[in-house]
Structure 1
Amino acid sequence: MAKIAYILLCHKDPEAIIQQAEQLTAAGDYMAIHFDGRAAAEDYQRIRAELAGNPNVAFAGKRIKCGWGEWSLVQATLQALRSAVEEFPRATHFYMLSGDCMAVKTAEYARRFLDEHDKDFIESFDFFESDWIKTGMKEDRLIYRHFFNERKHKQLFYWSHGLQKRLGLQRGIPSDIQVQIGSQWWCLRRRTVEWVLKFIRKRRDVIRFFRTTWIPDETFFQTLVRHLVPEAEIESRTLTFLMFTDYGMPVNFYNDHYDLLLSQDFLFARKISPGAKELKSRLGRLYAAQGVDFQISNEGRSLYRFLAQRGRIGRRFAPRFWETESTLGRERELLIVVCKKWHVAKRLLGQIRQVTNIPAIEYLFNEEDTALPDLGGIQAALMKRTRHRRALLRMLFEYYGTDQLIICLDPAAIDLMDDFHSDRSSTRFLHIECAFSDDYLIGHAHRVGLAGERTPQLTLERLLPTIRNDILHESDRIRDAGYSQLYHLREGASPVENASQLSGFLNVSGGKAMEIAATHCLFDD
């Protein structure tokens, strides 16, 4: 059975470190600790004294003074890793942790998971081809030498970087390695760790290269593991659940996140808020527990993304700037059906096609597989359609040889509605207002990834009011947008009332509008 040696990098809060070490070793696992060389010596001595009687705890042979983004973090990891390999010969896996991490599964579960998955768990994506780095320096991390810490000596850091660029002092990457990038929170098998340690003893050129790269803890182990281990034996993911805000800051977890954390498909979570005493206490007791049944739903990231992006007007962002230099054409009419229940809008469009000759296209800005003609590639992907939306619609008008076109939009696409409404063409909107049962909202949560098959009922009950209010807010925004030609089709209205609205929206006779309004089971789920 798997036995884990935890590699703990830490720099503060000796009491929490002692507690973390005792909790993780109580179930028979191991821990090797590196306490930052810049931290107080008395804190380090306290940790050593408190854990001196614990045979499952070891310490790095040398304390390194660590700095964010520096080689020192890799150096500290290697110091702790060497101690763990030497002190714990029965350890089968080595798992990187920080002082902000806590287990969200039992030791029993973790060992069974590792036994069933004989792989190395480490994020490793191609440095140059992937989009893992979202903003800031990318290639320059590698091809220039970085001697100063960007956070502590910002002016020197950018002066040195700029000087090398002006003088053309680029350097090559070792020819036989392909640089990878990913999270520094990994779990590696013993054989892999031994291969890595053997490799760096032989390849001093690789060490010299990474010593002066920027943020090497995101590239060093990721690159070496890919270089040494067959691809089939690598799972390119971390077993530590962590999330980041839009500003690149780690999301903190608090007391009310206990159930959420346990339902994620991860063994640990980071970062636990220092003030979340109850959460820390409950998670601390969890690791040594036995017979715990975990219901994995894994909706944490999508749920956070949904909640975090709900702001005030815009609900998160200010109105976007869209292209204004082009128009659909002053003589053209764009008819937009807006409905949250896509199947209802599609059912309505099917009837409109039968009764009128107006070309009607379903959710072309929401669904990748919407049926579209070949327009030279502009229709190929959602991102491209949205970026070139006016050009796309002009081409569709021309393709169908018409001055009238119907499209469907989700109510969340208020930015697209605003953009089309501002065009010189005549734009009319039909807002289909549906009733939303709890069962429908639960299904919606599953469809968009806010919930999984095993999401606890309590979590769903907490989530439903948020989803319902979000849908209502989208409807309010449409009503408040001031669209000059906005019509409403309501589930609770009579066919006569709905026919009146359809007549104005489609500019058709009352008879045709009634034929469409009387569509059988139009609002059925």
Structure 2
Amino acid sequence: MAKIAYILLCHKDPDAIVQQAERLTAAGDFMSIHFDARARKEHFEAISEALKDNPNVVFAKKRIRCGWGEWSLVQATLHAVEAAEEAFPRATHFYMLSGDCMPIKSAEYMHRFLDDRDVDLIESFDFLASDWIKTGMKRERLIYRHFFNERKHKRLFYGSYNLQKRLGLTRRIPSDLQIMIGSQWWCLRRRTIEAVLEFCRQRRDVLWFFRTTWIPDETFFQTLVRHLVPEEEIETRTPTFLMFSDYGMPITFYNDHYDMLLSQDFLFARKISPEAKELKRRLGAVYASQGMEFRISNEGASLFKFLTGRGRVGRRFAPRFWETESSLGRERELMIVTCKKWHVAKRLLERARQVTNLPAIEYLFNEEDTALPDLGGIQSTLEKRTRHRRALMRMLFDYYETDRLMICMDPSNLDLMQDFFSDRCTTRLLEIQTTFSDEYLLGHAKRVGLAGERTPQETIDRLLPTIRYDVVFESDRIRDADFPHFYRIREEASADENAEPLSAFLSIPPEQAREIAATEYLYVD
């Protein structure tokens, strides 16, 4: 049976560290702790005193001062690994953790998970060929020597870098190594750890290379494991669930993320908020549980984005600076049809096109494959269409040689609506209100990646009211915007009742409007 030696790097919150150590070792596993030498002395003393009688806990024999992006993080890890390897001969796996991590599975599940696969769990992608690094330095991390910390000594860091670059002082990458990159959160088998430590004793040249590499904790173990272990014995993934914001910052989890975390195909999660006391309590109970079943659905990223992003939607309505002076044209008329059920809006748009002979375009700001003419590339991606929306619409008016144009838009696009209503052209908006069954909302959740075929029923039960509220919220936001020339038709209303707003929206006779409103199968899902 698997026995895990947890390698814990930490620098704060001594009470949480003690609780973490007691929780993880209570299941028969082990822990080796490196507490940052920069942290307060009394905090380290408190941790040492609280854990001194726990035979399953050891401390790194040497504490060092750690800095982000420095070799010191790798060296601290090696000190903790060496202590664990020596103190716990029965440990079969070594799992890298931080003080912000919490288990999201039971110890029973974790042991079985590791017993079932004889592999090392570590992200390991080709440094130069992959797109793991999204922004900033890439090859420069390796071919130049980095002696200073970019965060603490920015001028020295970039001064040294620019001097080496100007003088052509590059260095060679060790010829027998393929440099790899990936997350620093891994779980390695004992024989892999022993091979890494032996390699470090034999190859001081490689250690010196990584000492002056920038952010080596993303490359050191990733490279050595790939060099020492057959490819078929490496599962290129991290066993710890983590996500990053659009700005590259780690996302923090709170009390209301409990169900989402348990359904992810990972063993731990980071970062857990220090204030999430209830979440920590519940996850601690999960770790100690027996016979607990976990239904893996793995929609963490999309669920998190949906559940936490609503408060930020629609807060920025200002047009881009290059668009403030552009206009669709004072004599032109833009008619926007908005509906959450896209197929309903498309049917109405098609019928209106047949009756009025007006040009009409479906969800051009929501669907990449919307049929559009070639407009010189501005129409090629959703990002370009949205960024240059006024220029795009002017070109479409010109292409169709018309002063009246109909389009479809999702109700979430309030910022686009705001922008078009602020233009000098006449803008009209028609909202189609429809009913939403639970089956339809579940299908919608699956289509947009919020749920899958294996999503637990309890997660679905929590998700559906949120989606339903979101639909209502979007409709309320449109009404609160108080747009002029705003009209609404409803699924529950009769064709005669809907004909009046349709007539005003399209500026057509009531008879034609009723013909559109009476479209067969308009609201059928």
TM-score normalised to the size of structure 2? Answer: 0.85
Separation of aligned partners in 1, 2:222 and 2:9? 18
User: What are the Cα deviations for residues 147-187 of structure 1, in whole angstroms up to 9, with x where unaligned?
Assistant: 23344444544444455455554545445655444322122
Give 2:493's aligned amino acid. Answer: A
Over 3 Å counting, the alpha-carbon distance change for 1:254 and 1:473 in structure 2 is closer
Contact 2:260 2:303 in 1 (8 A): no
User: What is the Cα deviation at residue 348 of structure 1?
Assistant: 1.7
Counterpart for residue 511 of structure 1: 511
Counterpart for residue 19 of structure 2: 19
Written as runs of structure 1 = structure 2, the 5 A alignment for 1:6-155 is 6-39=6-39, 44=44, 47-48=47-48, 51=51, 54-125=54-125, 127=127, 132-133=132-133, 140-155=140-155
User: What is the Cα deviation at residue 6 of structure 1?
Assistant: 1.5
Q: What SS does the corresponding residue of 1:62 show, helix, strand or coil? A: coil
| Greater shift in the superposed pair: 246-255 or 303-312 | 246-255
Contact 1:23 1:284 in 2 (8 A): yes
Contact 1:333 1:403 in 2 (8 A): yes
Contact 1:120 1:189 in 2 (8 A): yes
Counterpart for residue 418 of structure 2: 418
Counterpart for residue 241 of structure 1: 241
Written as runs of structure 1 = structure 2, the 5 A alignment for 1:74-473 is 74-125=74-125, 127=127, 132-133=132-133, 140-164=140-164, 169-174=169-174, 177=177, 179-229=179-229, 233-245=233-245, 248-311=248-311, 314-315=314-315, 317=316, 319-321=318-320, 323-324=322-323, 333-372=333-372, 378-390=378-390, 392-393=392-393, 396=396, 404-423=404-423, 426-453=426-453, 455=455, 459-473=459-473
Separation of aligned partners in 1, 2:356 and 2:156? 70
Separation of aligned partners in 2, 1:343 and 1:234? 46
Separation of aligned partners in 1, 2:504 and 2:358? 14
User: What is the Cα deviation at residue 288 of structure 1?
Assistant: 3.3
Contact 1:322 1:419 in 2 (8 A): no
Over 3 Å counting, the alpha-carbon distance change for 1:70 and 1:346 in structure 2 is same
Structure 1 alignment gaps of length 5 or more: none
Contact 2:318 2:419 in 1 (8 A): no
User: What are the Cα deviations for residues 489-519 of structure 1, in whole angstroms up to 9, with x where unaligned?
Assistant: 2223331232222233334443332111001
Q: What SS does the corresponding residue of 2:288 show, helix, strand or coil? A: coil
| Greater shift in the superposed pair: 172-181 or 95-104 | 172-181
Over 3 Å counting, the alpha-carbon distance change for 1:198 and 1:390 in structure 2 is farther
Separation of aligned partners in 1, 2:133 and 2:208? 23
Separation of aligned partners in 2, 1:348 and 1:98? 55
Contact 1:7 1:80 in 2 (8 A): yes
Contact 1:328 1:424 in 2 (8 A): yes
| Greater shift in the superposed pair: 189-198 or 65-74 | 189-198
Give 2:418's aligned amino acid. Answer: D
Over 3 Å counting, the alpha-carbon distance change for 1:285 and 1:309 in structure 2 is closer
Q: What SS does the corresponding residue of 1:309 show, helix, strand or coil? A: helix
Give 2:99's aligned amino acid. Answer: G
Separation of aligned partners in 2, 1:59 and 1:467? 48
Query: Cα RMSD between the aligned structures?
Result: 3.6
Over 3 Å counting, the alpha-carbon distance change for 1:158 and 1:376 in structure 2 is closer
Separation of aligned partners in 2, 1:371 and 1:388? 18
Q: Given the alignment of the two structures, is residue 478 of structure 1 paired with residue 515 of structure 2, yes or no?
A: no
Separation of aligned partners in 2, 1:347 and 1:322? 36
Contact 2:4 2:94 in 1 (8 A): yes
Give 1:349's aligned amino acid. Answer: L
Contact 1:240 1:267 in 2 (8 A): yes
Structure 2 alignment gaps of length 5 or more: none
Contact 1:433 1:490 in 2 (8 A): yes
Over 3 Å counting, the alpha-carbon distance change for 1:322 and 1:473 in structure 2 is farther
Q: What SS does the corresponding residue of 1:294 show, helix, strand or coil? A: coil
Give 1:93's aligned amino acid. Answer: H
Separation of aligned partners in 2, 1:223 and 1:399? 55
Separation of aligned partners in 2, 1:330 and 1:175? 67
Give 2:147's aligned amino acid. Answer: F
Give 2:512's aligned amino acid. Answer: K
Give 2:518's aligned amino acid. Answer: A
Separation of aligned partners in 2, 1:439 and 1:91? 49
Give 1:70's aligned amino acid. Answer: E
Over 3 Å counting, the alpha-carbon distance change for 1:227 and 1:406 in structure 2 is farther
User: What are the Cα deviations for residues 425-455 of structure 1, in whole angstroms up to 9, with x where unaligned?
Assistant: 5543322222344554444334333344455
Give 1:22's aligned amino acid. Answer: E
User: What is the Cα deviation at residue 31 of structure 1?
Assistant: 2.4
Separation of aligned partners in 2, 1:243 and 1:91? 29
Over 3 Å counting, the alpha-carbon distance change for 1:333 and 1:16 in structure 2 is closer
Over 3 Å counting, the alpha-carbon distance change for 1:118 and 1:480 in structure 2 is same
Give percent identity, aligned residues only: 72
Over 3 Å counting, the alpha-carbon distance change for 1:198 and 1:389 in structure 2 is farther
Separation of aligned partners in 1, 2:389 and 2:66? 49
Give 1:489's aligned amino acid. Answer: I
Over 3 Å counting, the alpha-carbon distance change for 1:124 and 1:400 in structure 2 is farther
Give 1:381's aligned amino acid. Answer: T
TM-score normalised to the size of structure 1? Answer: 0.85
Separation of aligned partners in 2, 1:138 and 1:298? 30
Over 3 Å counting, the alpha-carbon distance change for 1:472 and 1:54 in structure 2 is same
Give 2:184's aligned amino acid. Answer: Q
User: What is the Cα deviation at residue 285 of structure 1?
Assistant: 3.5
Over 3 Å counting, the alpha-carbon distance change for 1:192 and 1:319 in structure 2 is farther
Q: What SS does the corresponding residue of 1:522 show, helix, strand or coil? A: coil
User: What are the Cα deviations for residues 281-307 of structure 1, in whole angstroms up to 9, with x where unaligned?
Assistant: 333333232210112333443233224
Counterpart for residue 498 of structure 1: 498
User: What is the Cα deviation at residue 410 of structure 1?
Assistant: 0.7
Give 1:95's aligned amino acid. Answer: Y
User: What is the Cα deviation at residue 99 of structure 1?
Assistant: 1.9
Over 3 Å counting, the alpha-carbon distance change for 1:353 and 1:291 in structure 2 is same
Q: What SS does the corresponding residue of 2:261 show, helix, strand or coil? A: helix
User: What are the Cα deviations for residues 70-123 of structure 1, in whole angstroms up to 9, with x where unaligned?
Assistant: 110001112222333344444333211012212111122112223444443333
User: What is the Cα deviation at residue 271 of structure 1?
Assistant: 2.6
Contact 2:296 2:455 in 1 (8 A): yes
Over 3 Å counting, the alpha-carbon distance change for 1:499 and 1:275 in structure 2 is closer
